[in-house]
Amino acid sequence: MNSAISRLGILGGTFDPIHIGHLRAAIELLEILELKRVHLLAAAIPAHRAAPLFSATRRLEFARMTCRAEPRLYVDARELERTTPSYMIDSLRELRAEFPHTMLLMALGVDAYNGLESWQQAGELLNFCHIVVLSRPGCVLRELELTQGRFVAADGIDRAVGQVCQIQIPQLQISASMIRERIEDGRSLHGLLNAEVCAAIEQDFPRHSKL
């Protein structure tokens, strides 16, 4: 099965909780870059933020509910099984071993890209994958020494690893932090999340009757 996948996308995040903005970004990756599969890689213990609101088990369930209708989206649980902080470099090494002949394309939002040089072993990342920056109008990319001279057009990737491209995706005004605030305030989440996920959150937070 692995040998049949020529291009594999990686969309990492805490997914606390996963929402339709994440889903839309994953589908855009599939279509624009002509990928066979996108792995949604949830971080169990994020290195750059506070502990998640939802447990690792619950976030995994939510992700699977959200991706059930799209077989090209794969919920990758490897980081949720770790007991140490989640570092992308470790996952990339594992994925490279599992898919030795597959092009790996790691997708990042602009904010994440701008902070890339603070990541664990940042200088090693491009030895395992390409980086795809998910942009939106008005966003400004920092000039990073790490990626200097590596930018190409999305259809210009012509090496096994080490290049960076930028693609424009529809920007939905939804964030996981906004959703967590709405949960805290007891406000409706419908239209922001998968319907099954909404129902599950109602069970987790029954005091919020307006969800």
With residues binned 3-state (H G I as helix, E B as strand, rest as coil), the percentages for the chain, rounded to 5, are 40, 20, 40
**Inside any domain, residue 185:** no
The Cα 164–Cα 145 span in angstroms is: 13
Full residue range of the structural domain in which residue 144 is found: 2-171
**Inside any domain, residue 145:** yes
Q: Tens of pLDDT along 130-152?
A: 999 998 767 789 999 999 999 99
Give the residue-averaged pLDDT of 85-97. Answer: 93
- The Cβ of residue 31 has, within 10 Å, a number of other Cβ atoms equal to 10
Q: Tens of pLDDT along 35-78?
A: 999 999 998 766 666 789 999 999 999 999 999 999 999 999 99
**Inside any domain, residue 206:** no
**Inside any domain, residue 71:** yes
CATH (domain of 17):
3.40.50.620
**What is the amino acid identity at position 1?**
M
Asked if 134 and 10 count as a contact pair (C-beta separation under 8 A), the reply is: no
End-to-end CA distance of the chain, in Å? 41
**Inside any domain, residue 195:** no
Number of domains in the chain: 1
**Inside any domain, residue 191:** no
**Inside any domain, residue 201:** no
Model's pTM, two decimal places? 0.90
